[in-house]
Chains A and B, each alone.
Chain A
């Protein structure tokens, strides 16, 4: 009986771990630019493309929901200069719904040409 309970508990914990971590997590190079608060609940940043257009840094990030349940993502980009200081006043937080197994691209443009780096701040809600 005890071993059965232990097995069930371990099984649940494995399920929770799978729900929290996508099977194919955010690639390390992209993860270095992501500041994730809390659990990803199956959402990963599949790709991030950073391009300087007309002397202004622009970014596109592909957010992928790897599970079948819908997810709500809150995100914003934080722009940094070459000293690591924040550029501008900071973006507003945005809410975005991600359907099950959906990939959605979010984009942003730096507020001025002094931005040389960025961080994607995000957290994921299960509902």
Chain B
């Protein structure tokens, strides 16, 4: 029975593999095809060999993790050393093809007058008259020389000849057409009256890897993702290419990039520290109050105070943005009524930061409260009794018993909370969007941007075009810092030892 189920399962899997393989073959994605076949072989091996039994359980999870986490990380490293971004999106091959297809008018070849016809199916036919009076029949990109009185010309009489008004209306359609005159030259519409001869502007030499401008004779050579003339003129578009550590050095040495980057970096650290400090101190304070067995309504307080944590953060952040609204928000209305003036919450760099910290306090204190309550309850009461006998004050008890014992269990959570807030994109993005902007920055950066929102804007939102290369370089900086923090945390909690022992 089990064998049958396995057989059917593997059979279905293989049908899917074969179907996908055929599809990949027909779309000429050979590299992916090879990878797929290797994968299929691996799957079959793992499911047939008894020795590979445990791997059957790991395959699905491993597949998704490698494809969607490991590969993107590796790819991020790769992109960070390239110039990938607006202006350098295409590969070198694509750029060469595109440049070679660029044509210029050959003025000496003269003008071709034309008459256009439309057949019953809506297709266009042309009769061109060259500068020497030669006749050419044009259809579907091809030209056929014809003589006066040719039967093929006579057929055109059955079609509708386009009058001048029709030509004007069909200008877009006609100007998109081209007819091959010979291997290199084409006839293209020049204006409503004439077609002209167009010839290629550039010629690429594969041996020398350079591009020759056929008209001026200037030679362009590939430099850092562009074809560049000796005088420094660049042809656009550029292509994507490995440019080494250029992006990283730009972060550290280009004043218009470095200044904002350092400011964003410092605020990111401040933000993460402030978030942990405020949520933890309030959470701990409330936990100590609520842990008091003599307090009435404990359960009520506890279940109400936990509520902010149950609301999805993206909704809370948007709600708070309404509360902080400078002209209409309730907070400013209350301030206006009591102290006589509101606060430019989201316009002023400092107040925007204050608003963020208040919002994150609201979002985060319940978590700290729950965690601290749990930790407090696990502290042995006898400790306090002993301290009392020795005459310790409440503060001394807190300082020397509660806090150290609490830190053992809560410490690692504080560190993960730090790295969570270090990358807390939604709160920043939804409340301030990183605004107000830093004046004079070359890259889109704001006073409340943290590294991750800065990366996001570099990659997806810049009005001046996107820069995947630079964005990936910043991402690697974040990786490095988050990684270091978490590694430290693992040492702290002994997670690494757990792996080591768990042979």
The answer on A and B forming one complex is no
Chain A positions within 8 Å of B, measured between CB atoms, are: none
